Amino acid sequence: MDLKPLGRTLLRDQAYAAIRAAIVAGTLAPGQVVRDRDLAEQLGFSRAPVRDALARLVDEGLVESKPQSHTRVTPLILRDVRDALVVVRAMHEVAARSAVRRLRPEDLAVMRAANAEFARAVRSRDVERALTADDRLHDVLVRAGGNRAVAATIERYTPLIRRLERQRFASVPGEGSIRRHEALIEACAAGDAEAAAEITATIWSGLDDILPADAIPEETP
């Protein structure tokens, strides 16, 4: 039995997830040059799945590659984050509007638990826990909405936003986000799809605070 093609696919996906997580967390910093050989060695993979992962990340805008020059983590360009935020906000609105009628009591329980965890993380200034809990809460609506195109778009563009959130966590309206999450959950529990969509838009609009209009950093040479 030949399982090599499946194994390679899994390694490629694992490499992609690991490298993307490092970029979003800032372990691989904006502008940092990356080499497939070095990454493969750190991950314990061959170079082939790492090259596949880097190609995918280039397509998603987290890595850029210049032939005969370098491959590096894309610098943080606020204009790109703004563009991503507009798209992600719209997709979450669609997801919320579609999900409400499909939610089960256990889905609402997951959302409430995620918001409680989010609140604890915000108050302890734990950015990783806060963003993980925030993702868990909104993922309930994305999954329940059942639109694969919406889910794929959110998956693709959210990392661009999360990179900047991690750098500017103090600017994120924490207590306000907790209350808006509570209002969103109550709208979902009441079966009010329009209210859920409107509150979702407000939640994502709150991230405008991390995007100063006059502060678009220049790319590093």
Give the C-alpha separation, 58 to 210, whole Å: 24
For 4-73, give the CATH class.
Answer: mainly alpha
- With CA atoms as reference, report the closest residue to 119 among 194, 167, 176, 51: 176
- pLDDT tens, position by position, for the chain (221 residues)? 343 444 556 888 999 999 999 999 889 999 999 999 999 999 999 999 999 999 999 998 899 998 878 899 999 888 888 999 999 999 999 999 999 999 999 999 999 999 999 999 999 989 889 999 999 999 999 999 999 999 999 999 999 999 888 877 766 667 888 999 999 999 999 999 999 999 999 999 887 777 765 544 444 44
- With CA atoms as reference, report the closest residue to 154 among 164, 146, 168, 142: 142
**Residue ranges covered by each domain of the chain:** 4-73, 78-210
Within the chain, strands assigned E span 63-66, 70-73
pTM over 0.85: no
CB 63 within 8 A of CB 34: yes
**Tokens found for residue 216:** 């678009």
- With CA atoms as reference, report the closest residue to 159 among 63, 49, 42: 63
CATH number, domain 78-210 = 1.20.120.530
- With CA atoms as reference, report the closest residue to 116 among 128, 98, 103, 134: 134
Give the burial string for 130-166 (b: 16+ CB within 10 Å, else e).
bbebbebbbbbbbebbeeeebbebbebbbbbbbbbbb
